[in-house]
Homo-oligomer: A and B are copies of this chain.
Amino acid sequence: MTIHTIEIRERVMAKNDELAGDVRQRLAQHRVTALNLVSSPGSGKTTLLENTLARLGGQIQIAIVTGDVQTQNDADRLAKHTDKLVQAIVTGGACHLDARQILTALDRIDLTNTDLLFIENVGNLVCPASWDLGEHAKIVVFSVTEGEDKPLKYPKMFREARIAILNKIDLLPHLQFDLDVALANTREVNPELEVLLLSAATGEGMNEWCQLLLRSAKS
């Protein structure tokens, strides 16, 4: 039975990779940069996106595909800032978005008038690491309240990511959190990873993040 499970899994993953290739092609046709945001639940992805849309909405055209296990809370929050929003409901206990859902979502987005596409994945540091969605880069968001050890505990995710956002730095004075240890752990797992220190709540670090996005959207 184990062998059958593995065979099925391999076929599912192979199909996903094929569909991710289709996503990539569609994005390239329309010169859209896609960023896949992954994190634990509650690390602040939606607040980060809200503030990003508020700052950049006038400069570039941003679309969002948001994955949510059950509610449409995130979609409701984001819909206030953009009319290019598609919610992918993730059912049946799945813990990640897959390329087929992105491909379906793209049909509902005006890609000709889109510069940047954010994919807000399900809050989970394990499953989404293994699923190619056809994105240009994965961005892992983790927060200082989660402890310094997250890169070591979820190395696959931190290796797959090109950028890490360390969020909620406004809370540092109230925590026993050693920033140097956290950064060393990040480097140990992925020396190439670019780390941005940020507080989506207070806005600290948001300028640097937005500059990076503007560069990505135009490259």
Give the B-binding residues of A (Cβ under 8 A).
1, 4-5, 8, 11-12, 15, 40-43, 68-71, 73, 93-95, 122-127, 129-130, 142-143, 145-147, 149-150, 152-156, 168, 170-171, 174-176, 201
Nearest residue in B to A47 (C-beta to C-beta)? B147
With A1-B8, A70-B155 given, is the CB distance from A42 to B147 under 8 Å?
yes
Cβ-defined partner of A130 (8 Å) among B5, B43, B93, B170: B93
A8 and B11: CB pair below 8 A?
no
Q: Determine the distance from Cα of A94 to Cα of B5 in the docked complex, in whole angstroms.
A: 13
Which of chain B's residues have a CB closer than 8 A to the CB of A126?
69, 93-95, 122, 124, 127
B40 and A73: CB pair below 8 A?
no
Q: Please list 17 pairs of residues, one from A and one from B, whose beta carbons are closer than 8 Å in the complex, sorted by A's number.
A: A1-B11, A5-B8, A41-B154, A70-B154, A70-B155, A71-B152, A73-B152, A93-B126, A93-B127, A93-B129, A95-B127, A123-B125, A124-B124, A170-B174, A171-B171, A171-B174, A171-B175
User: What is the copy number of this chain in the assembly?
Assistant: 2
B201 and A153: CB pair below 8 A?
no
A75 CB, nearest partner CB in chain B, Å: 12
A145 CB, nearest partner CB in chain B, Å: 4
Nearest residue in B to A94 (C-beta to C-beta)? B126
B8 and A68: CB pair below 8 A?
no
Which of chain B's residues have a CB closer than 8 A to the CB of A95?
95, 124, 126-127
